[in-house]
Structure 1
Amino acid sequence: MRSRTRGSRLAALLTVPLAAVAWLGLSPSPAAATGPSTPDAVLSYLQEISGSHVVSGVHNKEPLADPSRYTAQAHDLTGKWPGLWGGELGFRADDVAQRQALVNQARTEWANGSLVSLTWHMCRPDVVTCEFEGGINGSRLSDSEWQQLTTDNSALNKAFKAKLDTAVPYLTQLRDAGVPVLFRPLHEMNEGWAWWGGRPGANGSARLFRITHDYLESKGLDNLLWVWNVKDTAANGGSGGVGNFYPGDDAVDVASLDPWVKGYPTGDWYQAMLNTAHGKPVALAEVGTVPTPAQLAAQPRWAWFMIWSEYLTTANSASGLQSTFNNSRVLSQGQFTLPPGGTNPPATPSGPLTGVGGKCVDVAGSGTANGTAVQLHGCNGSGAQKWTVAADGSLRALGKCLDVTGQGTANGTKLQLWECNGSGAQRWVAESDGHLRNPQSGRYLDAPGGSTVDGTRLQIWDRNTNPWQTWHLPA
């Protein structure tokens, strides 16, 4: 088990380091087998593509004996293997008996170059196996049963943990094989269609998610990336109420949405997910109709989408699938690679950060107060112009971080110096042509109008090919 909690990854790792961008393949390349890796590498990759690319995915629901049925259908329809393979841990007795087949397929998919996601429709804790209808959908615990479930060492609490124990050997196999898993238990928890959902507040559904997280972490399953999930329902406050189901940053790696009501997230739901995620990746964990290229461009922060099993063919046309899968924003198997686990952390070089006209990025007046302007200025070798490319994706000077004012995402938002806090406003990704992207906003470090006058306040702006968006990092 790690000496730090999974949620603290965001503060320690928030993104792919600027010095390590070279290992990311963001354009189509020949498929290559993916060897053992780490959850940190996967999380970093999802952070890196946020705002520019999205991984395609397809879920493979029961029967577990045929764990790649829908993935194969996607390939037949599009000519591409999805970049994310989704599987189900099962609830019926015949499917639970096939979990080894599921694990074998997960290892194969990972080796072939796809990310691995697992969902678990769990039966009530006091039932070993069940049918979906009545056993999961429509099943409900009484308030007294819920209190017992969330009370440590009670009968229902022990039964729930015993149910978790049935999955541990299979998840352990994936850990030992170096396969990180995007793990999505207790999904759509803001709606009460299943026994675990529809209970807001600290002692509600979020509490059970945390119990699940802490228990499986205690089993040494440090290969799990925890995917928290809600649905775009009007119940329990709709988009404004999702925070009442959030278990806390230290128990969540990815925040995800299932837009079954509207088919694709409305603007309020997109913003609610970004706000709740606190800079973590966000994803479309279940969709029926494949997102169009225009929809993905309008909401660029989704890290992946996963089409739900039979909806691949019942809710989509071949031409619609092909349009999305062939879009340059969408990454399928063979179009990205991940580094192996155990790599050394990148170096953290320091020095001037230069831009248009050879001018340096400068902290105005060498000030260290939060909110001090960051500007262009003639290079003078001072500490106000010495920037460190930190391993967490931040750029640091005078003990503080280059920050987008007010977590802003609009064109023209100014840059400032601010205490380092691990937020998306302080994350920067170096692209091969010299652009510096802030994934939270999807916009780029920019000198307004190409001005080289000393004191020009820097900003973020849409990507363009003007020289005033070309920057040279310290070597």
Structure 2
Amino acid sequence: MRKQIINGLMFLAILIFTSCKGGEDINPEPSIDGVKPPVGVSISPFKTINYLNEISGNKTVAGMHNREPNSDPTRWTEEVKTVTDKYPALWSGDFLFQADNINNRQIMIDQAVNQWKKGAIINIMWHACNPANSQPCGWDDGKGVMSSLSDEQFTQLITDGTAINTKWKQMMDEVCIYLQQLEDKGVEVLWRPLHEMNQGKFWWGGRPGANGTRKLYQLTHDYMTKTKGLSNLIWVWNIQDFGSLSSDVNTYNPGDNYFDVVSMDMYFSDGSGYTAAKYKTILDIAKGKPIAIGECEKYPTPQQLLEQPKWTFFMGWSELVFKEQSNTQAQIKALHNAVNVVTLDEMPGWNR
């Protein structure tokens, strides 16, 4: 006990001495695993966030989403390895909506654990069925993921105690069981529900204003974090690159306390590519938080990432990136071998 007290006093003396030196340590924040955040950026309890802050402005993580089927949750990650001889450093899965994929959610979650152990960043999303209808469901716009809610139904959805609201909470309960498994195993999750909030094709999206899509996002956030008590979720607020982007970042903004990362899906919906204007818009609204390319069909080039260095990761959308009109194999190889792009073999590992 005496030795512990002495060590504690010595540590305190060092802290006091360091703080009094003045000017030599421009970042007063403590470090985690010996790594300090950029000036003005606080240490996060999430290793993932600290890593993204660490590389922001210098490197960008290569990522790949693995869409259906959940019975084969590394299908497209393996395709990247086949083309480039490197694994992407971000692995992404989806809870999905069809009967077979719902039944195989455990396989997807087990793979998330496996990827985390390998040192990968974990991203999970959820194409959820419409809670006003039934699940499982299809992709269709009749009663599936691309169906719609009337104004009255949406009001019921965000009103506590209604039938649709209760159904949505029951659906969240189902996925929270799996997210809790990940928390119990120490796995951090870039959690991206209700993605492309300004996208009207999904039942949850395209509703501007305080009682629109952002209200549903806030409800979902509060239920999962406060009611269910999940503390391993890194909330990713996601929109698409429409021509209305400059106003959408305000119209659909759930509030600074409701997201940890801002990501934009780049499908060139406005007819342009990785423009400086899009980059600046997302950078400004993030207010120092990490930003990312949430989905893409055509990859950014290494040069574009040098010109827009604050993108902390990009995530290719499964089969789309392998279409010749999107990216040639030579382009895919060049990107994953670029000095400013991080692949799995270059990740530091989560036990550092």
TM tier relative to shorter chain: 0.7 to 0.9
1:209 equivalenced with 2:209 (yes/no) = no
Aligned to 1:146: 154
The equivalences for 1:316-331 within 5 A come to 316-331=327-342
Task: Please give the alpha-carbon distance, in whole angstroms, between the structure 2 residues aligned to 1:289 and 1:152.
Answer: 41
Q: In the TM superposition, what is the alpha-carbon distance from 1:270 to its structure 2 partner?
A: 1.2
Name the SS of the counterpart of 1:334 in structure 2: helix
1:297 equivalenced with 2:306 (yes/no) = yes
Task: Please give the alpha-carbon distance, in whole angstroms, between the structure 1 residues aligned to 2:195 and 2:184.
Answer: 26
Q: In the TM superposition, what is the alpha-carbon distance from 1:103 to its structure 2 partner?
A: 0.6
Decide whether the 8 Å contact of 1:41 with 1:338 is kept in 2: no
1:98 equivalenced with 2:99 (yes/no) = no
1:268 equivalenced with 2:277 (yes/no) = yes
Q: 1:184 to 1:16 in 2, by over 3 A?
A: farther
The equivalences for 1:387-406 within 5 A come to none
Decide whether the 8 Å contact of 1:213 with 1:251 is kept in 2: yes
1:307 equivalenced with 2:316 (yes/no) = yes
1:245 equivalenced with 2:256 (yes/no) = no
The equivalences for 1:22-101 within 5 A come to 22-23=34-35, 40-101=46-107
Letter in 2 for 1:90: L
Q: 1:146 to 1:107 in 2, by over 3 A?
A: same
Aligned to 1:344: none
Decide whether the 8 Å contact of 1:232 with 1:258 is kept in 2: yes
Task: Please give the alpha-carbon distance, in whole angstroms, between the structure 2 residues aligned to 1:153 and 1:84.
Answer: 38
Task: Please give the alpha-carbon distance, in whole angstroms, between the structure 1 residues aligned to 2:289 and 2:234.
Answer: 12
Decide whether the 8 Å contact of 2:84 with 2:332 is kept in 1: yes
Decide whether the 8 Å contact of 2:302 with 2:335 is kept in 1: yes
Q: In the TM superposition, what is the alpha-carbon distance from 1:18 to its structure 2 partner?
A: 6.5
Aligned to 2:22: none
Output the TM-score relative to the length of structure 1: 0.63
Task: Please give the alpha-carbon distance, in whole angstroms, between the structure 1 residues aligned to 2:28 and 2:295.
Answer: 26
Task: Please give the alpha-carbon distance, in whole angstroms, between the structure 1 residues aligned to 2:45 and 2:345.
Answer: 19
Decide whether the 8 Å contact of 2:260 with 2:289 is kept in 1: yes
Higher helix share: 2
Task: Please give the alpha-carbon distance, in whole angstroms, between the structure 2 residues aligned to 1:16 and 1:326.
Answer: 35
Q: 1:333 to 1:187 in 2, by over 3 A?
A: same
Deviations 1:178-219 (A, max 9, x none): 000001000111120101001111111011111111111121
Q: In the TM superposition, what is the alpha-carbon distance from 1:335 to its structure 2 partner?
A: 0.8
Aligned to 2:140: 133
Aligned to 1:157: 165
Decide whether the 8 Å contact of 1:263 with 1:289 is kept in 2: no
Decide whether the 8 Å contact of 1:16 with 1:45 is kept in 2: no
Aligned to 2:24: none
Decide whether the 8 Å contact of 1:284 with 1:302 is kept in 2: yes
Decide whether the 8 Å contact of 2:149 with 2:203 is kept in 1: yes
Decide whether the 8 Å contact of 2:128 with 2:145 is kept in 1: no
Decide whether the 8 Å contact of 1:190 with 1:231 is kept in 2: yes
RMSD between superposed Cα atoms in Å: 1.9
Task: Please give the alpha-carbon distance, in whole angstroms, between the structure 2 residues aligned to 1:96 and 1:137.
Answer: 14
Q: In the TM superposition, what is the alpha-carbon distance from 1:265 to its structure 2 partner?
A: 3.0
Q: In the TM superposition, what is the alpha-carbon distance from 1:334 to its structure 2 partner?
A: 2.3
Aligned to 1:282: 291
Q: 1:184 to 1:326 in 2, by over 3 A?
A: same
Q: In the TM superposition, what is the alpha-carbon distance from 1:240 to its structure 2 partner?
A: 2.7
Identical residues among aligned pairs (%): 40
Equivalenced residues, count = 312
Max radius of gyration: which structure?
1
Aligned to 2:12: none
Aligned to 1:34: none
Name the SS of the counterpart of 1:182 in structure 2: strand
Long gaps (5+) in structure 1: 1-14, 25-37, 342-475
Letter in 2 for 1:255: V
Aligned to 2:4: none
Q: 1:17 to 1:61 in 2, by over 3 A?
A: farther
Deviations 1:17-39 (A, max 9, x none): 57457459xxxxxxxxxxxxx96
Letter in 2 for 1:167: V
Long gaps (5+) in structure 2: 1-26, 37-43
1:222 equivalenced with 2:228 (yes/no) = no
Letter in 1 for 2:166: K
Letter in 1 for 2:246: S
Q: In the TM superposition, what is the alpha-carbon distance from 1:339 to its structure 2 partner?
A: 4.6
Q: In the TM superposition, what is the alpha-carbon distance from 1:338 to its structure 2 partner?
A: 4.5
Q: In the TM superposition, what is the alpha-carbon distance from 1:263 to its structure 2 partner?
A: 6.7
Task: Please give the alpha-carbon distance, in whole angstroms, between the structure 1 residues aligned to 2:236 and 2:125.
Answer: 9
Name the SS of the counterpart of 1:284 in structure 2: strand
Question: Paired residue for 2:176, among 160, 168, 180?
Answer: 168
Decide whether the 8 Å contact of 1:39 with 1:180 is kept in 2: no
